[in-house]
Amino acid sequence: RWNCFTNGFYSVGQHTLHGIRLIDVTDLKHFNIDVDKDLLRQYFFLHDACEAYLPDVPTPLKPYIVGWRELENKTSRAIYTHFGLPYTTEEMHSAVKMFDKWCLNMEAGTVAYKHKGGTYGATVPEDNAVMAPLERSNVHFDVVNASLIRAFKNLFPDAKS
């Protein structure tokens, strides 16, 4: 995350786990989100999975790389299909993006190196419990990896390795 400009170890995996935690504690109806919460968790878990196959390109650069969005979309579609998810609807995509931006906002104020924070176009929820700053993350890789594996098995119980 953050092209490695963080105050300590902070991975895409931690970002994913924080996003799922936000989804768990958020009343979707309060934000007029009409999607299945379990399905939203699955899509959020996989929303950055294409970065396992493609390099992580900072978001501000992506519009300048010809064909990048198409490559990301095709890779994501293949991953969703592999795990039995239909390609995302616009409503689901918007919900995932909203939680992604909430995470980005919290990361900017907590783990990003010398960043002053910001909302990045996100509609920030008023609930302080939901938007509490992330703990400073000097969590060991093995702890994050174990948490991701548990979350994956919980979200995709029928998936084969």
Counting DSSP H helices and E strands in the chain, the numbers are 5, 0
The two tokens of residue 77 are: 């579609």
pLDDT of the residue at 40: 95
Q: Enter the DSSP assignment of 87.
A: P
| Closest of 105, 6, 3, 111 to residue 56, by C-alpha | 3
Residue type, 67: G
pLDDT of the residue at 43: 95
The two tokens of residue 70 are: 């198409």
pLDDT of the residue at 110: 57
The secondary structure of the chain in percent helix, strand, coil, rounded to multiples of 5, reads: 55, 0, 40
pLDDT of the residue at 7: 53
- Burial class for 129, CB neighbours closer than 10 Å (0-12, 13-18, 19+): exposed
pLDDT of the residue at 138: 53
The two tokens of residue 13 are: 């995996």
Q: Which residue's entry shows tokens 């939203």? A: 40
Q: Enter the DSSP assignment of 4.
A: G
pLDDT of the residue at 132: 42
Local confidence pLDDT in tens for the 161 residues of the chain: 445 555 555 677 888 888 998 899 888 998 889 999 999 999 999 998 998 899 878 778 889 999 999 999 999 999 999 999 987 789 999 999 999 888 777 776 555 444 444 444 444 444 433 444 444 445 566 777 788 888 999 999 988 75
pLDDT of the residue at 125: 45
Produce one character per residue of 104-124: b if its CB has 16 or more CB atoms within 10 Å, e if not: bbbbbebbbeeeeeeeeebee
